[in-house]
Amino acid sequence: MTDYFSERQNGPGARTEQTIAPVVWAGVVATVEALINSGAFGLRFPECCPDGQATCGGDAEALAASVGAEMPGLAWPLQTVSVDGEGYFAERRPFAPDTFLVLDFIEFVHASVAKPIPGKYHDFFSHHHLTFDLSAGQEEFRSTINRIFARNGVAFELLPNGRIERMLPPVLGEELKRTFFNTGDRTLDNMLDECRAKFSDPDPLVRREALERLWDAWERLKSLADPSNKKRSVKIILDAVTSVPALRERLEKETTELNSIGNSHLIRHSEIGQVPVIDVDQVDYLFHRLFSMIQLMLRKK
């Protein structure tokens, strides 16, 4: 199933959650366990028929060993509850590992899974010999994971290349995707492209780097019209944006405010008195605000 009645009636829900909740992790675990039982890991971790070398399933022990080596900190068998206390007073609570660890694990599964195709039936051992369709298995896994994400409002997407990418806020996301940077200044173009790539990263620290880089691009943009005089350059650019006095005044105030934000909130500098911007929603807001201003200037430049 690709959609449900509520989605057909009301449209898809907002994808804003950036933490993997226990209910989402439980869905991922149920999906992986079903794949294990179906033999879907047999292409990478084959269990061979005792009577010859044909693959008849997946080697669960080899899979577990690989998970343990590549996913440090992820318990196997996969755990969906935590237990506090002992004996009669023990309390079970829904549990999910660290979000980054879950996303790494999903990418690991995507690289390892393939759709098993039953072939010859081996009567003596009561099993089929299997062949595998890698692309079909990965596509089905992506579809399931992305449906779980969508139904729970998770702002991540598993792409066909097997990488997980953060889903950007709708308005800003569309703008970032379709924008082609051609400012006439190659360094500025590269800075803006770097911002776009980093802002899609699941890691909040990388997204904060995108915000810092965007502020660096902002400083360079302000000098495009007159590299020898930044204040005069900004005036030239704003004059080109609008000739309406009231709007021109508003945009000049916005430019001043953006400069103040960059200088006082640990974005462009690292001084003791500056306030860091850490909250992911605040990073999104500031990125959106500055990017909108840059876009307006570049369109009218």
* pLDDT tens-place string over residues 40-52: 999 999 988 877 7
Looking at the structure, tell me whether residues 156 and 246 fall in a common domain: no
- pLDDT, residue 115, reads 95
Same domain, 236 and 193: yes
Gap between the Cα atoms of 51 and 124, Å rounded: 9
Report residue 244: phi and psi, to 5°: -80, 115
Residue with tokens 């997204």: 207
Distance between CA 21 and CA 10 in Å, rounded? Answer: 24
What's the pTM value of the predicted model, to 2 decimals?
Answer: 0.74
Given the DSSP bridges, would you call strands 91-94 and 81-84 parallel, antiparallel or unpaired?
antiparallel
Residue 137: per-residue pLDDT: 96
Question: Which stretches of the chain drop beneath a pLDDT of 70?
Answer: 1-2, 125, 169-179, 265-275, 301
Spatial separation of the C-alpha atoms in residues 273 and 139, rounded to whole Å: 50
- Collapsing DSSP to helix, strand or coil, 184 comes out as coil
Whether residue 172 is found in the same domain as residue 159? no
Contact 212, 199 (CB under 8 A): no
Residues 173 and 149 in one domain: no
Please state, in angstroms and rounded to a whole number, the distance separating the CA atoms of residues 278 and 173: 21
What is the pLDDT at residue 3?
Answer: 76
- Same domain (yes/no): 152, 288: no
CB atoms under 10 Å from CB of 267, counted, come to: 24
Comparing CA positions, the residue from 163, 160, 197 lying closest to residue 177 is 197
Domain boundary among 165, 187, 215: 165
Are 94 and 115 members of one domain?
yes
Q: Identify the bridge partners of residue 82 per DSSP, sorted by sequence position.
A: 93
Whether residues 100 and 31 share a domain: the answer is yes
In the chain, how many domains are there?
2
How many helices (H) and strands (E) are present in the chain, helices listed first? 11, 8
Same domain assignment for residues 156 and 225 = no
Segment (H or E) for 72 = none
Q: DSSP secondary-structure letter at 301?
A: -
pLDDT of residue 284: 86
Provide the mean pLDDT of the chain: 87
Q: Which domain holds residue 183?
A: 168-300
Residue 229 near residue 261, CB atoms below 8 Å: no
Domain boundary among 139, 165, 191: 165
Give the residue from 165, 180, 204 where a domain finishes. 165
Give the whole-angstrom CA distance, residue 111 versus residue 128: 24
27 contacts 115 by C-beta, under 8 angstroms:
no
Q: Of 65, 76, 85, 81, give the one whose Cα is nearest residue 32.
A: 76
- Burial state string for 232-243 with b = 16 or more CB within 10 A and e = fewer than 16: ebbbebbeebee
Q: How high is the pLDDT of residue 178?
A: 62
Same domain? For 226 and 86 the reply is no
Q: What is the structure's pLDDT at 301?
A: 66
d(Cα 195, Cα 282) in Å, to the nearest integer? 16
Three-class secondary structure of residue 118 per DSSP: strand
For helices 280-300 and 245-264, angle between their N-to-C axes, nearest 10 degrees: 140
Question: Which pLDDT belongs to residue 12?
Answer: 74
The token pair that represents 266 in the structure block? 């640990």
* Judgement on whether residues 10 and 156 belong to the same structural domain of the protein: yes
- Identify the residue whose tokens are 């990488």: 163
pLDDT at 92: 85
Burial of 217: CB neighbours in 10 Å, binned 0-12, 13-18, 19+: buried
What pLDDT score does 5 carry? 82
268 and 138, same structural domain? no
Tell whether 153 and 262 lie within a shared domain: no
Determine if the peptide bond prior to 77 is cis (ω within 30°): yes
- Does residue 234 contact residue 222 with C-beta atoms inside 8 Å? yes
Q: What pLDDT shows up at residue 32?
A: 97
